[in-house]
Structure 1
Amino acid sequence: MTLTLAAVARYPVKSCRGHYVGSAVVEPWGLAGDRRWLVTDPDGLAVTARTTPRMLLIEPVPLPDGLLLRAPGLPDLRVRTPYGNPLADVQVWADRVKATLADEDAHGWLTTAVGAPARLAYLDDPRRRPVAPEYADAEDRVSFADGFPMLMTSNASLAALNELIAAGPNAAGAPLAMTRFRPNLVVDGAAPWAEDGWTALRIGEAPFRVVKACSRCVMTTVDPETATKGREPLATMARHRRFGSKTWFGVNLIPERAGVTVRVGDPVEVLGTRDGSEPLR
């Protein structure tokens, strides 16, 4: 069976709209340009689309010197990368990290966009945030992603999930798009759920460890095109993809070699597998 890389995606601002690209450089903490920016409340706590779904309508466009922010009903705002600005404590889940605050106009624009006081922070030095030690080596690092440098999903697994949804009580509506799951890498050619058993991969010239399956949250029930909530895919995954107390889709990766570019169409080679019928939790 031939596996290929079908898509590459980056999310410049955590919980805001992502964009698909033809290629991206692999850095130790994830794809270059992925989740280096974070929206916080005035106390530095991360604000995400789990509680503020309208964030998915904010479109950050990467620029050589920062971002262009777009949102319905607001003028575009150009935000410079805040090198030299004051550092502040920000918090992503249990991790407190020093990050650089953007200029005041960015805070005001985001406050209007999300409907609550907000600030924008930039992780100028991603070496500050380690990956959870129970899944990683001591030197592994992550940007503002939830917990791991990269997330990979499979088109075959999404097709299988959509078939399960279509056969269930919430069958109305179009099949769910992969954008619900916010992956960095999407693989074609695998059997459904095959990624549950992978432990190591090579994509083009880039090797990765597969360290943990990805548990899914309420954010997947928000349509990223409209920011409206529904019941799927969690309702169906609770019936068919529940292991322990959580539901699972996709796997988390840690890069083994930085500076390599991954490209759509690259061959994907499975370098290691494990026994067991459940995702690695």
Structure 2
Amino acid sequence: MLQQAPYATAAVTAGVLGSAYFAYHIYQNRKKLPTEWTHVGTLENIYSYPVKSCGGIAMETAMCTTLGLRDGWLRDRVLMVVDQKGNFVTARNYPELLLVQPSVRNSILTLKHRDMEPVYVNLAEVVALQSPKTAVVWGVTVPVLDCGWEVSEWFSRLLDLSAINFRLVYYATQKPRKGNMFYKFTKNDTGALPDETSYHIINASSVSDLNARLRSCQVTHHTFRPNFVVQGPQPYDEDRWRFLKIGDNVFEVIKPCLSYRQISDPEERLASGPSPRMGLQLALRSGHGLVSLHDHVSAA
């Protein structure tokens, strides 16, 4: 299913439409967390994407942290591929990245691709032995650790048949990077290397509704690369959610969806881009806690 994603994502972009006014209003009232909740569904899937733009890993349980989901050395979007200038590259330009399937056992990252031999990276050694350098993601300079020649040569052969054009790097701080100030993110909302916020949720029935409108292709929730998939709400019920509670973890909706399904505010369109989008960008508002499959999902 993940192997279909490069072609589907060319037609439908992951993310979420936002309302600038609504986002700012929420920003002004962040400390006023809800006291009443309405059950809306159950948590059907949990995914972590350790390497930005590469395949996801299905999880049964995970810890929610400021930087995103974590289970030991498996952390969400803490690695990325960069070019020779240190600029990040993604599947938007190199869709073959989506066919790279990672796995993490203890501190060993394994990367597989149907046309390549597996390659292995000991993340503990990277952290212990490498000195921080800098890379750039979405115009923001971030500290990173180089993951070594072998895996960089592997990605270079995969992406353009070269030997040295790309490097794999590891996020080198526990502090979130700077975010898109148009949406008034707090300093703790933007995670390590995701496009916008540390968490992204998809309503399964909204994806089904989208498929009913598509003619030339079909998509799955994998197309949108969510951390969470919720089962139960009606299509686009998420448009009305301001906060979500998954298990005991409280999240705030930073960029809520709008109805179907283009952005109209010109300034917001400039900040978010022109594509129709799906899902909700979330920021953690509670302490660190576990999420597990089939947790209750409530909204306010």
Tell me the TM-score normalized by structure 1: 0.81
- Offset of residue 10 of structure 1: 0.8
Q: Is the 8 A contact 1:213 1:248 kept in 2?
A: no
Letter in 2 for 1:129: R
- Offset of residue 38 of structure 1: 0.6
- Offset of residue 110 of structure 1: 1.0
Letter in 2 for 1:256: R
Greater relative contact order (Cα < 8 A, sep 6+): 2
Q: Does 1:193 align with 2:236?
A: yes
Report matched runs for 1:1-281 at 5 Å: 2-32=40-70, 33-81=75-123, 82-83=126-127, 84-115=129-160, 117-133=165-181, 134-165=183-214, 170-171=215-216, 175-213=218-256, 240-244=260-264, 245=269, 246=274, 247-271=276-300
What SS class does the counterpart of residue 127 from structure 1 fall into? coil
Q: Is the 8 A contact 2:176 2:188 kept in 1?
A: no
Letter in 2 for 1:7: N
- Offset of residue 257 of structure 1: 2.3
- Cα gap change, 1:118 to 1:258, in 2 (>3 Å): farther
- Cα gap change, 1:6 to 1:242, in 2 (>3 Å): same
User: What RMSD, in angstroms, separates the aligned Cα atoms of the two structures?
Assistant: 1.9
How far apart, in 2, do the equivalents of 1:65 and 1:97 lie?
Answer: 22
How far apart, in 2, do the equivalents of 1:196 and 1:110 lie?
Answer: 39
Q: How many residues align?
A: 242
- Cα gap change, 1:258 to 1:70, in 2 (>3 Å): farther
Q: Is the 8 A contact 2:48 2:69 kept in 1?
A: yes
How far apart, in 1, do the equivalents of 2:113 and 2:187 lie?
Answer: 39
- Cα gap change, 1:211 to 1:180, in 2 (>3 Å): same
- Offset of residue 192 of structure 1: 0.7
Among all aligned residue pairs of Structure 1 and Structure 2, give the percentage whose two residues are the same amino acid: 27
- Cα gap change, 1:4 to 1:63, in 2 (>3 Å): same
Letter in 1 for 2:277: W
Higher helix share: 2
What SS class does the counterpart of residue 223 from structure 2 fall into? helix
How far apart, in 2, do the equivalents of 1:141 and 1:2 lie?
Answer: 26
Q: Is the 8 A contact 1:86 1:100 kept in 2?
A: yes
What SS class does the counterpart of residue 31 from structure 1 fall into? strand
How far apart, in 2, do the equivalents of 1:50 and 1:213 lie?
Answer: 23
Letter in 2 for 1:253: L
- Offset of residue 24 of structure 1: 1.1
